Amino acid sequence: MYKIVLKLFIILVLFTIIIYVTPNISYCDDDWVGQADGFLDKADGSIGVNKDKIKEASDDIYNILTSIGMIITVVVGVILGIIYMMASAVDKAKVKETIIPYLIGSVVIFGAFGIWKIAINTLGGL
């Protein structure tokens, strides 16, 4: 069962990455060598970083990963609940042993997302 959940998680992550990256692929026009030379000529340090685009990309990644984390947490919780309801006494003991790592993992996942959001909001003002 854990292998199935892991495979589903990997497929979901890969699918999300493909969906997120594909529309953002930009294709070069015919003068890409000239544009590259122009870019190198401008490398005098006066080009700044667009903070709005970085914050927007970070927010998109945050929202996608939070959604994936919530979906996985709910699905695994439902699966554990169903197994617990239909299990024998021995299997219920195994499910109870699984619930503690599940809860710790959930706290770690959402704690990491919380720390990430705090860091982005704090560093966004710099």
Alpha-carbon span 32 to 47, nearest angstrom: 19
DSSP of 71-97: HHHHHHHHHHHHHHHH--HHHHHHHHH
Q: Is residue 85 part of a domain?
A: yes
Q: Is residue 3 part of a domain?
A: no
pLDDT in tens, 11-58: 877 777 776 665 555 555 556 666 666 666 666 555 566 777 777 887
Alpha-carbon span 41 to 34, nearest angstrom: 11
Domain total of the chain: 1
Q: Is residue 1 part of a domain?
A: no
The DSSP symbol for 48 reads P
Nearest residue to 99 (alpha-carbon basis) of 84, 88, 89? 84
Q: Is residue 97 part of a domain?
A: yes
Q: What's the pLDDT at 36?
A: 65
pLDDT in tens, 77-110: 899 889 889 888 888 888 888 888 888 988 888 8
